[in-house]
Amino acid sequence: MANAMMGNLGGQPILILPEGTLRQMGKDAQRNNIAAAKGVADAVKTTLGPKGMDKMLVDSIGDIVITNDGVTILEEMEIEHPVAKMMVEVAKTQNEEVGDGTTTSVVLAGELLKKAEELLEQDIHPTVITRGFKIGKDEALKILEEIARPISLGDTDTLKMIALTSMSGKSVERASPHLADVVVSAVKEVARMEGSKIVIDTDDIKREKKHGGSAEDTELIKGIVVDKEVVHPSMPKKIDDAKIALLDVALEVKETETDAEIRITSPEQMQAFLETEQKMLKDMVEKVVASGANVLMCQKGIDDVAQHYLAKKGILATRRVKKSDMELLAKATGGKIISNLDDLQSNDLGFAKLVEEKKIGGEAMTFIREAKNPKAVTILVRGSTEHVVDEIDRSVEDAVGAVSSALEIGKIVAGAGSPEEEVAMRLRKIAEKYSGREQLAIKAFAEALEVIPRTLAENGGLDPIDTLVEMRVAHDQGKITWGINVFSGKVDDALADGVVEPLKVKTQAIKSAAEAAEMILRIDDVISANKLSRGGGMPPGGMPGGEDMGE
Ligand code: ADP
Ligand code: MG
């Protein structure tokens, strides 16, 4: 293929790119890219929906991740093929924008490209396909808006259904009702109104993981949980009406900062030196005391002597608190982080009803409860083992994302493949208005959307063809919210089954999938520098263990 790199001057080949550069053009490039994209989609397809399977990923040093989460799987896979990486970006975008629906977005992108490949085989030009896909995308988004229903902060039951739908299929299913309660309460705590809009910063919901309990022990704390113990044994372990000093300076005497050497020649001098040091530490503690604080959260270290004085004053202190926790603490308690002890004043202190140390899973943690302004909360995620906690944590993260985006956009749709089927049906009708090849592309887009109900059926052990036929019949009869009940194996009303999703999961998935497909279809020339080639040719699918390629 290196020949392709050469110009030709009177029979004399001229190299225009460095030797060893690889190049694929036209159909070869397209076929290869589509195969890579489909490979990525196939890799996550079996995890879709409540009956989807999990994947176990083992990295090069033997660390294990067991997950059902699309974006986690793709991130862990260390994908190298450039187009496959674009598919991973689709999942990441979905995760950032919504926090759920990552598998859906990637499966959809893969299916769009599969349909595009069929059209390419029929000699339909890529630009016609991308034009048709763009129409398909725009119309699909309009249809979704039409079929969406409103939701507000008061609809607690529906919000719980959203959380449950988002978590179903993850290994935590049994504990989900409890987790759904926790997630919905957390989101409601941090939600605020800006005019008539609900605004939620999901960063205000801190998640702290601790294994050793069960998912049922997962708890919402109105305030912050800091993974640090109280620093000195004779300090109080519990303070009511806490006035909290937030410091990002150490309560330590710095090792001789100047170059001056201190020569100690007698025991008296040694004594004097130690006394000076103690006095300095005592003064520091006095400044904390003078502010009126009874709790000290310190981002840096606290010297043993300072700990002793703090304890004597009845102050509860923790040290080496993470910076991100300090920021959350400031937000939650209304306190100010102080960098110079001399600046510390009583109005810099934060407030919480209770600060206490508690042992969780054998480890002491500090709880700041009922903070002044509980705009920052913590979900203490519990589960038996580390792997279980990690997966529960990911489900909780997805559910927080789903509930938040439902509230922010204020719109929901039924799930279980129903919106995809409804959009596909309406899109096929719209396609009739277009002529010839464009119509084919729009119809292909509609069919691609049906990959979601088809995959849900397949993963649920149902016959995908029968199920799709049933779905089409139902939607033809105007049963907009009918989807696949993977538990009963029947097609019925997903809304009545409590399968509810935020509108944004669907719109974002279609947007990113369509845009990625379009971008990939526009590529007809891949030029790669030698180091990417891994010895002699583009990897056919580009993925490790690429046996999933193609069909
Ligand atoms: P994603 O990463 O795309 O969120 P999931 O594995 O969470 O992937 O699956 C989401 C799909 O599963 C959505 O189409 C959703 O409607 C569907 N789903 C969730 N719960 C149910 C249910 N109880 N019955 C049928 N479909 C469901
Ligand atoms: Mg999901």
CATH code for the domain of 271: 3.50.7.10
pLDDT at position 1 is 43
Whether 543 maps to a domain, the answer reads no
Residues in contact with ligand 1 by the CB-under-6-Å rule are 47-50, 52, 68, 70, 100-104, 165, 168-169, 415-417, 452, 456, 484-486, 499, 501
Q: Are residues 427 and 396 in the same domain?
A: no
Residue 60 resides in a domain: yes
- Residue 533 belongs to some domain of the structure: no
Whether 476 maps to a domain, the answer reads yes
Do 115 and 209 sit in the same domain of this protein? no
Are 448 and 392 found together in one domain? no
Closest ligand 1 atom to 452 CA: 14
Task: Provide the whole-model pTM.
Answer: 0.78
Q: What 3-state DSSP class applies to 80? A: coil
Which of 102, 486, 493, 512 should be mutated for ligand 1, with most atoms under 8 A from CB? 486
* Ligand 1 center from residue 378 Cα (angstroms): 26
Residues 242 and 352 in one domain: yes
Q: Is residue 482 part of a domain?
A: yes
> Is the domain of 193 the same as that of 241?
no
Helix, strand, or coil here: 143? helix
pLDDT of residue 17: 72
* Assigned domain for 547 exists: no
Count of domains observed in the chain = 3
Our answer to whether residue 398 is catalytic in this structure is yes
Query: Annotated catalytic, 103?
Result: yes
User: Any idea which residue has 């139902």 for tokens?
Assistant: 474
Whether residues 275 and 211 share a domain: the answer is: no
Q: In a mutational test of the pocket of ligand 1, which residue from 74, 104, 176, 491 has the highest number of ligand atoms less than 8 Å from its CB?
A: 104
Task: Verify that 231 and 364 share a domain, yes or no.
Answer: yes
Asked whether residue 387 falls in the same domain as residue 518, the answer is no
Please write down the long-range contacts of 93-98, taking CB distance under 8 Å and 24 or more positions apart: 93/508, 93/512, 94/508, 94/509, 94/512, 95/71, 95/401, 97/405, 97/504, 97/508, 97/512, 98/401, 98/402, 98/405, 98/502, 98/504, 98/505, 98/508
319 shares a domain with 291: yes
Residue 102 a catalytic site member = yes
- 461-477 core/surface letters (b: 16 or more CB in 10 A; e: else): ebebeebbebbbebbee
Ligand (nearest to CA of 415): 1
CB of 402 closer than 8 Å to CB of 163: yes
Please report which helix (H) or strand (E) contains residue 366, including its range: strand 363-371
The pLDDT of residue 526: 74
| pLDDT recorded at residue 10 | 65
Query: Which residue is catalytic, options 46, 102, 366, 378?
Result: 102
Same domain, 397 and 487: no
Tell me, yes or no, whether 232 and 350 share the same domain: yes
CATH number of the domain to which 170 belongs: 3.30.260.10
Reported in sequence order, the residue ranges of 172-283 that DSSP labels E, i.e. its strands, are 192-194, 197-199, 205-211, 219-221, 223-226, 238-247
Structure tokens that stand for 523 in this block: 């590529």
463: domain CATH number?
1.10.560.10
Known active-site residue 467: no
What residues sit around ligand 2, an ion, with C-beta below 5 angstroms? 100, 166
The answer to whether residue 141 sits within a structural domain is yes
| Domain final position from 384, 409, 434 | 409
Q: Which ligand is nearest to the CA of 49?
A: 1
Q: Considering the domain boundaries, does residue 319 fall inside one?
A: yes
The answer on 363 and 390 residing in a single domain is no
Residue 452 belongs to domain spanning? 25-150+414-528
Mean pLDDT by 10 residues, the chain (551 residues): 52 70 77 85 88 78 77 76 84 86 93 94 91 95 96 92 87 76 93 89 87 87 88 94 95 67 75 86 93 95 93 95 91 92 93 91 86 80 87 90 93 96 96 92 96 95 94 96 93 94 95 90 75 46 41 36
Q: Exposed/middle/buried for 11, CB within 10 Å: 0-12, 13-18, 19+?
A: exposed
